[in-house]
Structure 1
Amino acid sequence: MALIKLGQDPESPDGKSPTIYLDDEKDTYLVQGWKVIDDDRRSQLDLPGHEDVIEIPKRMVRFFPEVTNGGGADS
Structure 2
Amino acid sequence: MKLRFLGKNSTPGDSPTLYATDRDSYVVQGWKIFANDLLMQLDVPHGHTAVEVPTELFEHLTKDGLPSGEIKDFSAPIVIRTGEGTCVVQGPVMRDLEALSQMRLPDYEDCIEVPRSAILNLLEEKSGPDHQRPA
TM-score, normalization by structure 2: 0.43
Moved over 3 A (4+): 65-68
Percent identity, please: 37
Following superposition, the deviation at residue 14 of structure 1 comes to 2.5
**Gap regions ≥5 residues in structure 1:** 71-75
The answer to whether the aligner puts 1:6 opposite 2:3 as a matched pair is no
Once the two structures are superposed, residues 3-31 of structure 1 have per-residue CA deviations (whole angstroms, 9 ceiling, x without a partner) of 0011011xx2327511001112x211111
The answer to whether the aligner puts 1:45 opposite 2:45 as a matched pair is no
Once the two structures are superposed, residues 22-50 of structure 1 have per-residue CA deviations (whole angstroms, 9 ceiling, x without a partner) of 112x2111111111111221121221021
User: What's the secondary structure of 1:52's corresponding residue?
Assistant: strand
The answer to whether the aligner puts 1:63 opposite 2:60 as a matched pair is yes
Work out whether residues 33 and 55 of structure 1, in 8 Å CA contact, stay in contact via their aligned partners in 2.
yes
Instruction: Return the alpha-carbon distance in structure 1 between the equivalents of residues 65 and 37 of structure 2.
Output: 30
Following superposition, the deviation at residue 67 of structure 1 comes to 8.6
Change (3 A) 1:38 1:68: same
Aligned CA RMSD, in angstroms, stands at: 2.4
Change (3 A) 1:15 1:22: farther
The count of corresponding residues between Structure 1 and Structure 2 is: 67
Work out whether residues 62 and 68 of structure 1, in 8 Å CA contact, stay in contact via their aligned partners in 2.
no
**Gap regions ≥5 residues in structure 2:** 69-135
Instruction: Return the alpha-carbon distance in structure 2 between the equivalents of residues 8 and 27 of structure 1.
Output: 19
TM-score, normalization by structure 1: 0.71
